[in-house]
Amino acid sequence: MPFSLLKYGLRARHVSFGDIPPTPDLKRSYDVVIIGGGGHGLAAAYYLSNVHGISNVAVLEKGHLAGGNTARNTTTIRSNYMTEESVRFYKEGVELFETMSRDLGFNVMFSQRGQLTLAHSEATLRSFHLRAEMGKHMGTRIEVVDVQTVKELCPHLNLDLGGQHEVMGGLWHADGGTARHDAVAWGYAKHASARGVEIHQRTEVTGFEHAGDRLTHVRTNRGTIAAGQVLQAVGGLNGQVAAMAGIRLPIRCFPLQAMVTQPLKPFLDILVSSANLHTYLVQSSRGEVVIGGGSDPYQLASTRSTLDQKEHLAEGALHLFPFLHKVKLLRQWAGITDMTPDYSPIMGASPLQNYWLDCGWGTWGFKATPVAGKRMAETIATGRVPDVLKPFDLRRFDSFALLNEMGATAASH
C-alpha cells in the first residue's frame, strides 16, 4: 500500500476514481434485497458478496448512502455490556473493528483508546462490578478502577471531590474506541459493489407483495422488483417499513442529540462517559470535542434539536471539564433511536419466511455494524440463525425472555 501510494503520488496525471459506482437501473429480480443503505445494510451486502458468494444483491436506500443514523451516531465502539448474550455479540463486533482497515484496505481510523465510565454513586459502582465480572468472564479487557486510577487515566477530569457529583470510581474498558463512521460504510460499499452488489440511492420502498407467508416483490418509487430474500435494516424507520410487511415491532422512537465543539489541542485521549450525568465526551482526531448522550424526554420521529437538551449536555460536559466553558459549539444534530423494551436489538427471523430483521438499534447500533452485517449475511446465506443472534429474536417478547440490558449507554433511559 505505501509504495503504490508513493507511485501514485509521483505520477504526472492522476486518474480520478470513485469508490461507489453511480446508481444503475433496477433489474427485475434479485436474490437478496437489502432495505437500508446504512452501515448495517452495507456490511450485510459486503459479507453476502465477499464471503458467501451471493452477488445478485440490491441495496435500496431512500436518501443517500449512509446518510441516516450511520452519519449521526457518535462512533463509540465497546463491549462493556451487562448480559452474557450482549457481551458475546458486541465483543465480536469490537474484534471485527480491530482488523477492519486491513480487511477492507480502507482506513476506517479505528482508534482503540479505551473507555472510562464514571460512577458518582455506590449504586453505580455496584453495577460496574457486575459488568466488569461479566466482561472478564467473556474475555474482554475491563476492570473497576479507583479514583486515583481515574485521575491517572484522565488528569484533566474534575473529580468534584466533596461536591454533588463526586467521582467514586470508574469502569475502565481498554477495548473501547472510535472509528470513522462514514469510512466504515464506504469501505463496505466499495467492496460490495466491486463484487456486483447494486447500490440504489434515492430508492424508497413503498410496499410489498405477499404470497402466503413469503414476500415476493418489493415495490419502490423506481419500480417493482422480485426478491428471493429481504433484509430490513432501516434505522429510525423500522416500525414503518415492518408495518408495510405486516409485522409489528416493539419499538418506540426517541431522538438522541449530540454536538461538537471547535477544535482544541489534544487533551483527552480516552472516551469519558458518565451515566449519572447522561453525558459522554470524546475528542476527535481533529481536536473537536464530541459531546453526546441527550435522549429526548418524549417520543418523536424527527431529527430536530432542542435548546433544553443541548444545555443539559453542556452542563454535564462542564461538570466533568469546567475549562470547556469558553469553548464554542461548531455543530449539533440529532438521530432517531429505536428503543426496545429491553435495550437490546431485534435480529433474525420475522413472521415471514424470507424476511429478515436487523432493527431495534437504540443507542447501540454503530458499534454493531460489522458483527450485525456478518451474522445477518450468514443467516440469509444459510437460512439458519447463528447461535450468537438467537437471544435477539423478535419472539423473545412473546415468551418473556427479555435480555435486561441496562449497560446500554450514558444516554438517559
Partner 1 sequence: MKLLTCPVNGPRNITEFQYLGPVRAASAEQPEQLIEALFYAENPLGVMREWWRHTPSNTVLIAERHTVSDQILATYLPHRKPA
Q: List contacts with partner 1 (CB under 8 A).
A: 239-240, 248-253, 297-302, 304, 306-308, 341, 397-398
Of 56 and 306, the one with the shorter C-beta distance to partner 1 is 306
Burial class (CB in 10 A: 0-12, 13-18, 19+), 347: buried
CB of 118 to partner 1, least distance (A): 26
Helices 369-382 and 84-98: crossing angle, nearest 10°?
100
Smallest CA-to-CA distance from 243 within 164, 373, 384, 357 is with 357
Name the helix (H) or strand (E) containing 186. helix 181-194
- The nearest distance, CB 307 to partner 1, in angstroms, is 8
CB of 302 to partner 1, least distance (A): 5
Of 58 and 339, which CB lies nearer to partner 1 in the complex structure? 339
- Cβ 251 vs Cβ 239: under 8 Å: yes
- Name the residue nearer to partner 1 (CB basis): 59 or 339: 339
What's 35-87 look like in SS3?
ECCCHHHHHHHHHHHHCCCCCCEEEECCCCCCCCHHHHCCCEECCCCCCHHHH
Give the start-end residues of each E strand in 234-288.
252-261, 271-274, 279-283
CB of 13 to partner 1, least distance (A): 50
What is the grid cell recorded at 217?
A: 416483490
Of the pair 242, 282, the CB lying nearest partner 1 is at 242
Closest to partner 1 by CB, 29 vs 302, is: 302
Residue 177 CB, nearest distance to partner 1 (Å)? 32
**Whole-number minimum distance, CB 230 to partner 1, in Å?**
21
CB 345 within 8 A of CB 397: no
State the amino acid at position 314 in one-letter form: A
> What single-letter DSSP state applies at residue 193?
H
- Minimum CB separation of residue 250 from partner 1 in Å reads 4
Which CB atom, from 151 or from 252, has the smaller least distance to partner 1? 252
Residue whose CB is less far from partner 1, 267 or 397? 397
